[in-house]
A = this chain, B = another copy of it.
Amino acid sequence: MSLTIGELSRQAQVKIPTIRYYEQIGLLAEPVRTEGQQRRYWPEDVRRLNFIRHARELGFEVEAIRQLLGLASHPDRSCGEAHEITKAHLTEVNDKIARLTALRDELQNMVACDNGKVAKCRIIEVLADHDKCLHETH
């Protein structure tokens, strides 16, 4: 019927100390306890913890997750707020992709220069002065 913290951990792919940490900071409600003070969870908690894990993996901060969870518990309210949180995040991610792609190109150049000297490799300059070096040829 109910789940131990270990079972919850396995099902939601979240480590046990992390579950207790989430309880501590109020992301997870305090669960029922056995006589001997062991935590017992319900399938509902698996869903909530999955939600939290996914949001964390997507780079949402705990505070943002708290907000999103708040929205989820008021399903009649507009999702404009959730929309804003997500949009801000999207912009950030797109920016990172662009810069990582530029970096990858430079690393590929570097790896391609097999028997040369580091002095000829431009990785340092590229990262030190990203905008200037970005579009130069190797």
Contact = CB atoms under 8 A, between A and B. Distances in A.
A59 B114 CA distance: 21
Contacts of A96: 57-59, 100
Given A75-B117, A97-B97, A103 B58 contact: yes
Interface string A24-54: 0000000000000000000000011011001
A111 B90 contact: yes
B71 A128 contact: no
Interface residues of A, number: 56
Contact of A100 (B69, B100, B117): B100
18 contacts: A48-B128, A54-B126, A55-B127, A58-B96, A58-B99, A58-B100, A59-B96, A71-B121, A72-B124, A75-B119, A76-B118, A77-B117, A79-B110, A79-B114, A79-B123, A87-B111, A93-B103, A97-B104
Count this chain's copies in the assembly: 2
A77 B118 CA distance: 6
A54 B81 CA distance: 31
A127 to B, nearest CB: 5
Contacts of A47: 128-129
A118 B68 CA distance: 10
A137 interface: no
